[in-house]
Structure 1
């Protein structure tokens, strides 16, 4: 018998071809270098690179027309600047293309241009650096600036976290559900004239404010210094009020003014004088005119990979590259019918939630089998990645997304209950990524936002330091079929969410029917909010048929778990500890089983387990709860609920509600020191059916 031994040998080949015989060779890469390249080359050899990625795509397209369809690479020899979006579409033969860096040096793909010629200067009486920005005809003024790979701060008044109040506001006396009506926002308000009297160039300013669960931003249209009437270019998405005596009103207008010269005073701040076209910057310690790299973003999207319903794009990959510096200018567009029944666009200062119409530095539309691996996406204007309708089998893995204008990954399919199956967005994987420091310009951005998706997996990610929700999955308010189901949110570490700016959020948030969706093995902690709604896991309106298990949730401002309303959700084998108001909360009662709590460990520190409801009940009857371990870490009897101002303890709770009949009060032997949350081998919880949680974090 003959035995064959297969040996894999790495062979380095030096191609000694000329440009004339390039079509006869099986090329694997096109080299790109802006410093030494020339677009008259083909780029098939390292010493003769092309100058632009567009030329590299053209070379590959031409090469493929000769019948050569093997995978190819675009190899970046050095950093690459672009002032226009690079599109890979289905009109060309650009499937199976990988964009990567040369050798061990990671190349940056930068969505803007470098500002040079910095000199020492003074502006507004402050020592600073300055340069002249050469704008070409028709070029918009930029409103973001990146210095030495960090976002420079926009000037702001009041300084720090200060906020201003108004005297009156358009449409400020609404009631009921009118606040959500698209036509009922506010376009103007009456400012206190003394607040704004010292501000020059206010017509170049941006008005920003937080309310409910969104932040809104609008350029100034006009300001009357006599009356204080300030008109914004963009109407608010939700209505505003000035009922400041009513503490905790989420609709009250608290605003601040950005991009004004008089506030230019702090290290790391910048200002663009639009008349002189000079950019001023106050350097941080150690920064000088000679050692700063300053980028003015020029594009909203660096790459758009776009197929069609009839011809998708496949196997486009980004591996080992850094993408950075995009624009954060954004206005939300909605459509409605006018009095004549015509569909018209309405622009507002925010989306209704999560900056869900925002763009990404990399965008996929009708794409299959694409991925981003081992990349860095930093300093974006809105999202890092945007995956839209008709896309499937997209993977984003081992990628760092940091310093993001809104959020990390946005996936927004079409509502398949209302559309063609070709539009399905499914099988998207975000795994092993680090998503941090979101909301730098649009606070309502999510770490991962997944709307109208099927069979997706978000696992083993660390998501931290953002102003709004960590992972949001759904989407449709209520029980209408949106086509979102069988999504997995597993083994993520989500922490420091909320940061006290917005309300109504969760580290993990779901909305609408989602049969087969699983939330498992996540570690969640340090959740905050401005008014209400700092929740760990939040099953919002219509969330149904979801399993929540093996999660560890602690230090939520309001509740570790909150359900607004939903149907047949199972919450089992979790550890919920140290909530600010109560461990658990259900807001609405319904005439069906809303959720079942079973085999959980509830650890309190004086706070009750349940939150009192708004009618004459301890807790809504749509809840079932049994076989749980309940423990007050102080050793005192745990309070089940504060009912009409008095504490209700375990025995009375069982007698009055019939719940927790098989639950116990005992020390579960959970080591909470240094946030370990390790359950001891001798824990009484195991007798209640609790299973060990193997938490990655």
Structure 2
């Protein structure tokens, strides 16, 4: 612990303890004659619970209330007298404790008194243990497990190091260090390594420390260490510091628990007297739980004027550790299955399936985890006017962060939504004291919540976090408001967060009227991170922030009318804007900004809750850098190295450092006189520019200059700065031309930029960073840089102009085919029941199973309701493999209420006997209404409906998950299909093997897949063929296909290479079983002419079915190449010849 740190902590807690319950000062409500009373000091649970003879425990009062709720005609009050309710177990509330008939059960402080619900144990009997080091000890009295200790309410610090491990290295087993003395320390398995990995603060437990090759080898406990090292860019490397060893007990205010002897050790701070001090250690992990069920939620319970304090959370001490991924959300990866799961940390107060729960004017402090969790479809709860201070974890957490289950991130059932919460007029201070990636308020996929008029300060990471999932999935995160909050001194320790931080897909989010001040680290004070969408942020005031506005890759966001003292901003979004920004560099805010500042934060009715805390520190307004006017640029007799911009590249400014181009001079020296940089609208910053000798990495002498974009000389769309003297570049040599770019300042072009240059040198590729790393192929420059050189050409060089924006028209979809209603049958004969709805986004439909005879599906259909106007994408999937079988877009085309409309398929699809399928329709929140109800099918021998099915509109296949809903009747949406029973023996079992219209049904692994229509590239001059570019090992197109065991199939495909020659083969990957792989036409020679791979195939392996993923591989599997394929067919053998003779089948796996 740093010296002097305890002083600040002591002041905070002393002030906090002095915050007496003035909260009830204005309370005028008289005590009800029929109320219950509880007194932890004078009460007895054998008493009747009256004011004169109160109960002693809250549990007794709760049980007494249960018998009164059924006939409630008014609120029931349970008054808690002042004193400490020292809990030995969690106080649990269930649905039977709920208020009834619209009334509430209210647990509240007796007027003028301050009851405390505490999960602690007092440690007494301290005696001097080591006089030289002033260390005291005391017996725990019994087995005690805790991670915190408090002295007179002031949090002590677990004994820890001043820094990390010297000469540290890490591997899959643990760490190593030159600090060999650690191998001799006691109780090594209780030690903990603490890491600081960008926006995370993971922790891992030590198993043992031994000496090996002159170093201390630290074996870490599993599976926690595996999880810590499986978090991508925030995986644990080497520790920030380490803690929980007696040998580290060297600073005042530090403590240690020896679990082998059940003894506490403490080194007191100056002025502390352990003979009189109250030393408390939390033992309970949860103080209060409120757990309902979906059919019977817990509801209408309120808590007012109560202190919730002293809880712990023991899991970080276990072999699981703390693998936080962001906002103190835990991400664990199973080392055996590889499955990744995410979860919120627990809280001292947990609400599951809770409705209309109220916490008002309470204090949550000295807690070892989060304060309040709400999950499981909790709705319409209010957290109003509370104080949250000195928490190890987050303040309020809403949701379950389960990206594997649409029931959590986009539930179809409205009862499973986290919705309608109000979090207002609360005071948050020193949150995340122990787990520093914690935030004040976290909500994953909420709906209709309001976060307003809170004050949030002194945060190690973000303030408010809304959303989860990085845009991977569609979510229920919509119609939420963040307004009029005062958020200051955030991001004090970690990076890549924001005072208001948004993440993942959302709809109709409003951020307005907030005053944000003093954000220390990057990125944006208002930070719309990856996948954020449909957010409007307007009329906010931001000062003393590294970057006021930061929009990462996202979509449809609007940031308007921001008042700020910094010009920095980043906009990497699609269809996203930052506009109307009012720049006020001196903090002399105009009236509009002053009104926002005055209205932000806790409202007057609740300002009495604000405790006195130390000043968060003076904020010093940075002064603009001094600039020295550069010499005028001499354009006469000079030429530009860059002649034109062929491709401008993607704009960016979210990264800072040296960026530029690698260039190679021709056969003559070049006298360079000036540097240039593209001057895009709004450019204003200062840029150092230089030339670097690529061979040595050294700056070219005399080439380092500063370009001031605000007043630089321009020629076309480039601005220039004159060198003090001409710099000569040697002939036939490689150099780097570099510009220093800063996060949030002037935008520049990414490495896909392509320029043409004069013959004096050649632009090779973009380079970046202090190590001058080369960018990926695709362009020949970063930023947009140029230099002028002496050429003797009369006049000035031709101006470099930015190319006109290129607009591409979307390819028109083919006209729909006429629907054959005369020669086909409809599967669904009638629909009954159900209610129209439109408040959800995703795929909804039915699961059905084909009977004993296969059918030919010809069209997909949807029932339209009155006022429907949207075109709907209908998909048919194999229920076993989840493979897409076919899809079609159904248009309303003037449909009346109750009418079905169909889309004819471009080619019929065979549905197999006994196999189950999903038929789903893409529905949009707020769009066409659709129904859920009972559906009856046509003929039992054709097939049957198994029930409704739905899935979120997932954006990545890895989270695709279709769920049945037995409560919804026969099916969702009202869908149908047309079919015939006539069998077509030549049916291709592959979907869309001819690519006449698109690449539907195919995916690519480690490759790109597209459709080409140029006749020279298509097979047999057809309308289209598939093009594959292999980008990684074993790159291939693939499609899942349903095959029958012991049946012979004829397989064929036509292939040609773009260049060269190689060998090709068809692979059937059965996923499991022996053999797993089958090979068809193995090592068939292919070149730049169309060649056919063809062969019979029969699966006789160990699986029950022959279902597989069919792949096409060219070469060894590691070859990077481009090729074309077409007319990919799989047909039952003997059902008609393929285009070409068929060779006999090899044995599977041959």
Same fold (TM over 0.5): yes
Cα distance change on mapping 1:140 and 1:452 into 2, 3 Å: farther
Q: Is the 8 A contact 1:154 1:270 kept in 2?
A: yes
Match status 1:445 vs 2:489: no
Q: Distance in 1 between matches of 2:34 and 2:141?
A: 39
Cα distance change on mapping 1:11 and 1:319 into 2, 3 Å: closer
Match status 1:593 vs 2:575: yes
Question: Which residue does 1:535 correspond to in 2?
Answer: 524
**Which residues of 2 match residues 113-192 of structure 1 at below 5 A?**
113-116=121-124, 118-123=125-130, 125-135=132-142, 139-157=143-161, 159=162, 162-165=163-166, 167-171=168-172, 188-192=174-178
Shift, 1:12, TM fit: 6.7
Cα distance change on mapping 1:542 and 1:205 into 2, 3 Å: same
Match status 1:522 vs 2:514: yes
Cα distance change on mapping 1:607 and 1:460 into 2, 3 Å: farther
TM-score normalised to structure 2 length: 0.46
Cα distance change on mapping 1:249 and 1:85 into 2, 3 Å: closer
Question: Which residue does 1:98 correspond to in 2?
Answer: 106
Q: Distance in 1 between matches of 2:297 and 2:325?
A: 30
Match status 1:304 vs 2:311: no
Match status 1:80 vs 2:68: no
Cα distance change on mapping 1:584 and 1:655 into 2, 3 Å: farther
Q: Distance in 2 between matches of 1:93 and 1:387?
A: 16
Shift, 1:195, TM fit: 6.0
Cα distance change on mapping 1:321 and 1:11 into 2, 3 Å: closer
Match status 1:39 vs 2:25: no
Q: Is the 8 A contact 2:204 2:228 kept in 1?
A: no
Q: Is the 8 A contact 1:236 1:348 kept in 2?
A: no
Question: Which residue does 1:570 correspond to in 2?
Answer: 558
Q: Is the 8 A contact 1:301 1:326 kept in 2?
A: yes
Question: Which residue does 2:323 correspond to in 1?
Answer: 350
Larger Rg: 2
Q: Is the 8 A contact 2:444 2:467 kept in 1?
A: yes
Shift, 1:511, TM fit: 0.6
**Which residues of 2 match residues 144-543 of structure 1 at below 5 A?**
144-157=148-161, 159=162, 162-165=163-166, 167-171=168-172, 188-194=174-180, 196-197=182-183, 199-226=185-212, 228-233=216-221, 234-235=224-225, 237-239=227-229, 252-331=237-316, 347=320, 349-356=322-329, 357-412=344-399, 415-478=408-471, 480-500=473-493, 502-529=494-521, 533-543=522-532
Q: Distance in 2 between matches of 1:520 and 1:304?
A: 34
Question: Which residue does 2:539 correspond to in 1?
Answer: 550
TM-score normalised to structure 1 length: 0.74
Q: Distance in 1 between matches of 2:715 and 2:347?
A: 51
Cα distance change on mapping 1:506 and 1:195 into 2, 3 Å: farther
Shift, 1:539, TM fit: 0.4
Give the count of matched residue pairs: 564
Cα distance change on mapping 1:55 and 1:225 into 2, 3 Å: farther
Q: Distance in 2 between matches of 1:547 and 1:490?
A: 12
Shift, 1:463, TM fit: 0.7
Q: Distance in 2 between matches of 1:163 and 1:27?
A: 62
Pick one of 116, 119, 143 that aligns with 1:108.
116
Q: Is the 8 A contact 1:235 1:349 kept in 2?
A: no
Pick one of 680, 684, 687 that aligns with 1:640.
684
Shift, 1:451, TM fit: 0.8
Cα distance change on mapping 1:61 and 1:318 into 2, 3 Å: same
The residue matched to 1:528 in structure 2 has which SS? Answer: strand
CA deviations 1:443-487 (Å, max 9, x no partner) are: 110011111101111111111111111000012212631110111
Pick one of 65, 70, 76 that aligns with 2:74.
70
Q: Is the 8 A contact 2:139 2:263 kept in 1?
A: yes
Q: Is the 8 A contact 1:237 1:352 kept in 2?
A: no
Cα distance change on mapping 1:618 and 1:514 into 2, 3 Å: closer
Cα distance change on mapping 1:643 and 1:567 into 2, 3 Å: farther
Pick one of 72, 94, 100 that aligns with 1:89.
94
Q: Distance in 1 between matches of 2:316 and 2:292?
A: 25
Q: Is the 8 A contact 2:98 2:300 kept in 1?
A: no
Q: Is the 8 A contact 1:383 1:410 kept in 2?
A: yes
Shift, 1:42, TM fit: 2.8
Cα distance change on mapping 1:653 and 1:192 into 2, 3 Å: farther
What are structure 1's unaligned runs of at least 5 residues? Answer: 1-8, 14-25, 172-186, 242-247, 334-345, 609-614, 623-636, 658-697
Q: Is the 8 A contact 1:236 1:349 kept in 2?
A: no
Q: Distance in 1 between matches of 2:150 and 2:683?
A: 51
Question: Which residue does 1:60 correspond to in 2?
Answer: 65
The residue matched to 2:448 in structure 1 has which SS? Answer: coil
Q: Distance in 1 between matches of 2:530 and 2:30?
A: 59
- Of residues 419-428 and 505-514 in structure 1, the stretch that sits farther from structure 2 once superposed is 419-428
Q: Is the 8 A contact 1:98 1:317 kept in 2?
A: yes
Cα distance change on mapping 1:315 and 1:654 into 2, 3 Å: farther
Shift, 1:275, TM fit: 2.6
Cα distance change on mapping 1:10 and 1:188 into 2, 3 Å: closer
Cα distance change on mapping 1:166 and 1:83 into 2, 3 Å: farther
Q: Distance in 2 between matches of 1:252 and 1:421?
A: 43
CA deviations 1:510-558 (Å, max 9, x no partner) are: 01222211111111122223xxx3431110011111111111112223x
Shift, 1:652, TM fit: 8.6
What are structure 2's unaligned runs of at least 5 residues? Answer: 1-26, 330-343, 401-406, 586-621, 627-646, 655-680, 690-706, 719-1150
Q: Is the 8 A contact 1:82 1:113 kept in 2?
A: no
Q: Distance in 1 between matches of 2:48 and 2:258?
A: 43
Cα distance change on mapping 1:470 and 1:195 into 2, 3 Å: farther
Q: Is the 8 A contact 1:212 1:250 kept in 2?
A: no
Higher RCO, Cα 8 Å, sep 6+: 1
Question: Which residue does 1:3 correspond to in 2?
Answer: none
- Of residues 30-39 and 394-403 in structure 1, the stretch that sits farther from structure 2 once superposed is 30-39
Cα distance change on mapping 1:240 and 1:503 into 2, 3 Å: farther
